[in-house]
Amino acid sequence: MIVVGAGIAGLAAAGARAEAGRRVLVLEARGQLGGRATAFVDRATGELVDNGQHVLFGCYHETFTFFRRVGADAHVRVQPSLEVPYLDASGRRSVLKCPQLPSPLHLLGAILDWDALPWSDRLRALRVAVPLLRARRGLGLQTGDETVSQWLTRHGQRGRLREWLWEPLAIAALNQSPAEAAAAPFLRVLALMFGPDPRDASIVLPTTPLHEMYALPARRFIESRGGEVRTHALARVHLAGHRVTGVDVRNESSGASRIIAAVPWFALAQLFTGASSLMDSTIAAASRMASKPIVTVNLWYDRAVMEDAFVGLPGRAMQWVFDKRQAFGERASHLSLVSSGAGDLVGLDNEALVTLAAREVAESIPGARNALLRRGTVIREKHATFSLAPGQPLRPAVETPVEGLFLAGDWIDTGLPGTIESAAIAGHRAAGALLK
């Protein structure tokens, strides 16, 4: 049995199959495992640098199942409860911190105690309590073409509460502007984060570079169960009529008849050879899905500049900054600044992006004001996630009309935005469907 693609979805699927005692072959086109959640060596410093900061939440239950299975759960740090430090434009620090209360009262308690907001804004948060509780029960999720912005307005969310909490959360979770993204996936994220267990809202940060965090442990797990993970293995899957008839990697062909294609929407059309009209509509829909970018700027200063491991910068182009020194220890000495939904920034050149990021750091982070910036790099992930705008093509299920062919990846119809958790759910679903 073959899994094509060694991102989260492919490795989660292969890990589940391996655990069930099946021999799996994973084929990955690149030289590196991890797909959109990976790391590489920065040549100038020798440090391992993530292709973009990844934040997980306590509610990523399928992801943690995958991590525990392959022994990756020790490579993350989980907050005891949601705690988010912010720095305003002048560098004033405030913290949104959930008290020990049942969920979602803990969020309301945190907002009521958050001195960055005027009292009128804090009280406004009470108006989302009912829609949130309904969303937890699966109600009110049919929002049609309503966008996140429209939903927030309908529920009276405005002012600083909206600018500092809901909009940054929506942009981070959906990688798209709230004015553009559909409300339904945002509500699903809120329903999961503020579900019955208060720790579901906790922020979870990797303590190692991404491919070391989960991809290498997954590879070791699969290999320890008799499977194989091959890199530099761009695969083409043969379809004939209603069946899979084989997989080609360079000049080698295998007669495999059961495949999990864990490739992203933008790579699906190139995956297949042969003739089967059964996949035409899925391929056409995948090709029509729009992509959304994330821009990351990494900055190396001559000293440690941050008090917190990460901090929100409301109103800034770079919405979050992470101190990789605090995350990875001595092996890293850079800050990683993230701009999600970065359609406006992605076209700027590297110098402009580094200058912008360094200015925002100097203005917001008091410790950076006298520090010397030694180096800045930029990573543009143009296909970071798929668009959640109303009217985008429907997302497919893992099952396909072709016998032996299953799909996986964050873009499968999990109801969630393009996230690690969506990819892990889809990987596990595909593995489960194949076992049936």
- CA-closest candidate to residue 56, choices 70, 72, 69: 72
**Amino acid present at 130:** V
Residue 215 sits in the site that holds ligand FAD (CB under 6 A): no
Residue 8 sits in the site that holds ligand FAD (CB under 6 A): yes
Helix and strand numbers (H, E) in the chain are 15, 21
Q: In this chain, which of 95, 129, 205, 267 binds ligand FAD, going by CB under 6 A?
A: 267
**Cβ atoms of residues 315 and 87 within 8 Å:** no
Residue 16 sits in the site that holds ligand FAD (CB under 6 A): no
Residue 36 sits in the site that holds ligand FAD (CB under 6 A): yes
Q: In this chain, which of 37, 182, 229, 239 binds ligand FAD, going by CB under 6 A?
A: 37
CB atoms within 10 A of CB 92: 12
Total site size for ligand FAD, rule CB under 6 A: 38
Q: In this chain, which of 1, 4, 244, 388 binds ligand FAD, going by CB under 6 A?
A: 4
- Alpha carbon distance, N-terminus to C-terminus of the chain: 14
Question: Per CB under 6 A, which of residues 57..116 are in contact with ligand FAD?
Answer: none
Q: In this chain, which of 55, 123, 205, 285 binds ligand FAD, going by CB under 6 A?
A: 55
Question: Per CB under 6 A, which of residues 313..332 are in contact with ligand FAD?
Answer: none
Nearer to ligand FAD, 122 or 429 (CB): 429
- We find the least distance from the C-beta atom of residue 62 to ligand FAD, in angstroms, to be 11
Question: Per CB under 6 A, which of residues 343..382 are in contact with ligand FAD?
Answer: 381
Question: Per CB under 6 A, which of residues 271..300 are in contact with ligand FAD?
Answer: 271, 294, 296
Q: In this chain, which of 15, 195, 206, 264 binds ligand FAD, going by CB under 6 A?
A: 264
Place of tokens 């099946």: 22
CB atoms within 10 A of CB 100: 9
Question: Per CB under 6 A, which of residues 227..256 are in contact with ligand FAD?
Answer: 234-235
Q: In this chain, which of 244, 409, 430, 434 binds ligand FAD, going by CB under 6 A?
A: 409
CB atoms within 10 A of CB 185: 24
- CA-closest candidate to residue 73, choices 95, 90, 56: 56
CB atoms within 10 A of CB 280: 9
**Cβ atoms of residues 135 and 188 within 8 Å:** yes
Judged by DSSP in three states, 14 sits in: helix
- 74 DSSP 8-state letter: G
**Cβ atoms of residues 164 and 117 within 8 Å:** yes
**Residue 52, both tokens:** 């973009």
Please provide residue 142's backbone torsions phi and psi, each rounded to the nearest 5 degrees: -85, 85
Nearer to ligand FAD, 4 or 117 (CB): 4
- Angle, helices 420-435/61-70, rounded to nearest 10 degrees: 70
Place of tokens 């032996």: 404
Nearer to ligand FAD, 118 or 347 (CB): 347
State how far the Cα of 326 lies from the Cα of 238, in Å rounded to an integer.
47
- CA-closest candidate to residue 384, choices 339, 321, 322: 339
Based on C-alpha coordinates, what's the Rg of the chain? 22
- We find the least distance from the C-beta atom of residue 328 to ligand FAD, in angstroms, to be 16
Nearer to ligand FAD, 110 or 423 (CB): 423
Nearer to ligand FAD, 86 or 140 (CB): 86
Q: In this chain, which of 385, 387, 400, 414 binds ligand FAD, going by CB under 6 A?
A: 385
Question: Per CB under 6 A, which of residues 410..429 are in contact with ligand FAD?
Answer: 410, 418-421, 423
Residue 29 sits in the site that holds ligand FAD (CB under 6 A): yes
Q: Which stretch binds ligand FAD (CB under 6 A): 49-57, 67-75, 319-327, 390-398?
A: 49-57
- We find the least distance from the C-beta atom of residue 282 to ligand FAD, in angstroms, to be 15
Binding site for ligand FAD (CB under 6 A): 4-10, 27-30, 35-37, 51-52, 54-56, 234-235, 262-264, 267, 271, 294, 296, 381, 384-385, 409-410, 418-421, 423
